[in-house]
């Protein structure tokens, strides 16, 4: 057997017996070489980064870090590695999340021996092919143009911040635009993406007349490069953020699938420190993908009962799909004369309120009509300070999560 034909496999599972079973199942497959086994997500990322396996057999439910998060991290560090996920749940939403995170295959646990060997062989062939592409010398990355000043593009491990309100008209677009310009800096390049593909407001709120839009990227999502993105995304001159607007015709929204949108967001995290997504209340495939793929969700309500009720429904969904920990909860259009106080809302939803943004008709309406976010106009407005604080809190949370990842992967040294 040729050396290049060998499939180097890493096994990840928190239970030793399962690791041993998988090892046994694969021992008669001559192409497979087991290069190691990890008992948790952090260890998996570390071993994968060091030993660069072709195939990782990944458990989903592990105590410290789930297999989906580990899959995503490994795909970023070792792009040719193919991940085969094993899970007891044949739950489609898990499957979908795993696929979005870059998993190649999904098997129910415990797998049949034939099923497992076929999946590993298939994934192995794919990894070997990917590797051969990568080893062709390529100068494109180095000379790909780095006008953003962030050097190696893939170095950025950006965060996806989804601004979502389950009730329309509560200020999602207003918060998304002001938050994006607040997150933007020379070291944290930020892009604002409109996921309201039918009637998106982002471009209007920034007074941008855009020629290109989201569809120009989702339609060629498997062949993106930094130059294409730079060509399509508009630059908002007053703030420096980049903007991906919604299509010019409402019916074009149907052309975008959730998977394409997720792939686009994930690609953007290699170019930008923050990818802020404005959404619609209706859970379209695109909005669902954005939520599933997010690092942070800014959830908005007002003091009105229908809005609070919709938040409640969304929270049950968020709990079921493991999104709750990503939520920063904001009350917008706050008016202290209204008897439904933030405390009552928090109690009712059993969710701490992180920020309360006041009703400021003059400032907000003027800024929307002028197409200039109020944070750019005047940072000293109380409402601007609140949005800047929201941005800081998201920056801090992002740094913490990166630090935890770094700590867990170095603590074993
Ligand atoms: N804090 C605030 N103070 C005063 N007016 C506000 C505030 N936040 C939002 N508004 C107003 O509420 C309206 C809706 O805001 P926005 O378009 O941002 O909401 P949305 O959730 O994106 O709505 P849609 O569901 O239509 O996308 C706008 O007219 C805006 O001026
Ligand atoms: Mg909106």
What is the residue extent of each domain of the chain? 3-135, 153-410
Q: Which residues of the chain have pLDDT under 50?
A: 136-155, 411-413
Q: Using the mean position of ligand 2's atoms as its centre, give its distance from the Cα of residue 170 in Å.
A: 8
User: The tokens of 231 are what?
Assistant: 């060509």
Fold of domain 153-410 = Rossmann fold (3.40.50)
8 Å CB contact between 66 and 37 = no
pLDDT score at 139: 28
pLDDT score at 209: 81
Tell me whether the CATH fold assigned to 3-135 matches the one assigned to 153-410: yes
User: The tokens of 82 are what?
Assistant: 């193919």
pLDDT score at 148: 34
Residue 165 CB–ligand 1 contact under 6 Å: yes
d(CA 406, CA 369): 44
> How far is C-alpha 10 from the chain's CA centre?
25
Cα-trace Rg, the chain = 23
d(CA 12, CA 74): 12
CB-based contacts of 361: which residues, under 8 Å, 6+ apart?
Answer: none
Query: In terms of C-beta distances under 8 Å and separation of at least 24 residues, what long-range contacts does 217-220 make, across chains too?
Result: 217/244, 217/264, 218/255, 218/256, 218/257, 218/260, 218/261, 218/263, 218/264, 219/255, 219/260
d(CA 214, CA 399): 28
Q: Using the mean position of ligand 1's atoms as its centre, give its distance from the Cα of residue 293 in Å.
A: 25
Residue 303 CB–ligand 1 contact under 6 Å: no
Candidate CATH numbers 3.40.50.300, 3.40.50.2300, 3.30.360.10, 3.90.1150.10; the one for domain 3-135:
3.40.50.2300
8 Å CB contact between 97 and 123 = no
pLDDT score at 90: 64
pLDDT score at 102: 82
CA 359 to ligand 1: nearest atom: 3
Angle subtended at Cα 399 by Cα 396 and Cα 404, rounded to the nearest 5 degrees: 125
Q: List alpha helices for 107-239, DSSP H.
A: 113-135, 140-143, 172-183, 202-205, 214-218, 226-232
Nearest CA to ligand 1 atom 31: 365
Nearest CA to ligand 1 atom 9: 171
CA 165 to ligand 1: nearest atom: 21
């Amino acid at each position: 057997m040729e050396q290049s034909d060998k499939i180097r496999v890493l096994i990840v599972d928190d239970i030793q017996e399962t690791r041993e079973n998988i090892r046994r199942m694969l021992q008669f497959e001559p192409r497979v070489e087991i290069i190691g086994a990890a008992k948790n997500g952090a260890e998996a990322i570390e071993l994968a980064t060091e030993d660069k396996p072709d195939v990782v057999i990944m458990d989903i439910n592990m105590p410290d870090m789930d297999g989906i998060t580990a899959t995503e991290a490994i795909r970023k560090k070792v792009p040719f590695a193919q991940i085969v996920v094993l899970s007891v749940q044949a739950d489609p939403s898990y499957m979908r999340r795993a696929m979005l995170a870059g998993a190649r295959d999904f098997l129910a646990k415990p797998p049949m021996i034939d099923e497992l060997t076929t999946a590993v062989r298939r994934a192995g062939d794919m990894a070997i092919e990917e590797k051969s592409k990568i080893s062709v010398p390529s100068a494109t990355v180095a000379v790909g143009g780095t006008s953003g000043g962030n050097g190696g593009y893939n170095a950025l491990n950006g965060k996806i911040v989804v601004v979502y309100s389950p009730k329309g008209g509560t200020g999602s677009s207003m918060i998304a635009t002001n938050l994006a310009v607040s997150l933007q800096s020379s070291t944290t390049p930020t892009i604002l993406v409109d996921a309201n593909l039918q009637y998106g407001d982002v471009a209007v709120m920034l007074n941008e007349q855009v020629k290109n839009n989201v569809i120009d990227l989702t339609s060629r999502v498997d062949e993106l490069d930094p130059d294409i993105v730079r060509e399509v995304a508009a630059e908002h001159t007053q703030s420096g953020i980049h903007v991906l607007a919604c299509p010019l015709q409402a019916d074009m929204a149907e052309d975008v699938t959730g998977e394409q949108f997720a792939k686009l967001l994930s690609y953007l995290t290699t170019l930008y420190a923050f990818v802020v997504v404005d959404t619609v209340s209706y859970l379209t495939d695109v909005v669902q993908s954005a939520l599933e793929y997010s690092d942070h969700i800014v959830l908005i309500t007002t003091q009105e009962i229908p809005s609070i009720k919709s938040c409640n429904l969304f929270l049950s969904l968020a709990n079921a799909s493991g999104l709750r920990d990503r939520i920063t909860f904001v009350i917008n259009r706050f008016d202290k004369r209204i008897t439904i106080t933030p405390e009552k809302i928090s109690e009712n939803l059993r969710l701490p309120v992180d920020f309360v943004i006041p009703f400021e008709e003059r400032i907000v309406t003027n800024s929307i009509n002028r197409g200039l976010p109020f944070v750019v106009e005047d940072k000293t407005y109380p409402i601007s300070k609140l949005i800047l604080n929201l941005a800081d809190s998201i920056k801090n949370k992002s740094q913490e999560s990166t630090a935890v990842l770094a700590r867990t992967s170095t603590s074993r040294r």
